[in-house]
């Protein structure tokens, strides 16, 4: 396979076909490029598509997950403290 340059139209067509479920390896053979070339174009363009809104959603989700983790850790600490207190009472 060569590593020829894909046109903008080819890249758009390939992206749509990948989104519809076609295998990248099959498309690479059809367009006579290496698989890495297709992944490069898909990845490069997906980075442009991240909007501020989607980034804000990810930040909010991350904060919520950190809160859940902190609450879980506090509950575990409380449980450990209860077990320790019960063990000390039995001594």
pLDDT of residue 63: 94
Higher pLDDT residue, 1 or 42? Answer: 42
Compute CA 25 distance to the chain's CA centroid, rounded to the nearest angstrom.
21
Compute CA 44 distance to the chain's CA centroid, rounded to the nearest angstrom.
15
Confidence check: pLDDT of 52 > 80? no
pLDDT of residue 72: 95
Nearest to 6 by CA among 36, 45, 44, 32: 32
The mean pLDDT value for 2-22 works out to 87
Q: What angle (nearest 5°) sits at the alpha carbon of residue 78, between those of residues 76 and 81?
A: 110
Neighbours of 31 (CB within 10 A): 19
When the pLDDT of each residue in the chain is averaged and rounded to a whole number, the result is 86
Neighbours of 60 (CB within 10 A): 10
pLDDT of residue 19: 87
The mean pLDDT value for 57-76 works out to 93
The mean pLDDT value for 34-53 works out to 75
Tokens of 10: 């080819």
- Its pTM stands at 0.48
Helix, strand, coil shares, percent, the chain, to 5:
80, 0, 20
């Amino acid at each position: 396979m060569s590593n020829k340059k894909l046109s903008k139209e080819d890249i758009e067509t390939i992206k749509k076909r990948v989104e519809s479920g076609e295998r990248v390896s099959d498309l690479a053979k059809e367009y006579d490029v290496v698989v890495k070339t297709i992944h490069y174009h898909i990845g490069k363009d997906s980075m442009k598509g991240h909007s501020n809104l989607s980034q804000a959603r990810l930040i909010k989700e991350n904060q919520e997950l950190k809160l859940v983790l902190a609450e879980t850790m506090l509950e575990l600490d409380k449980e450990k403290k209860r077990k320790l207190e019960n063990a000390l009472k039995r001594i």
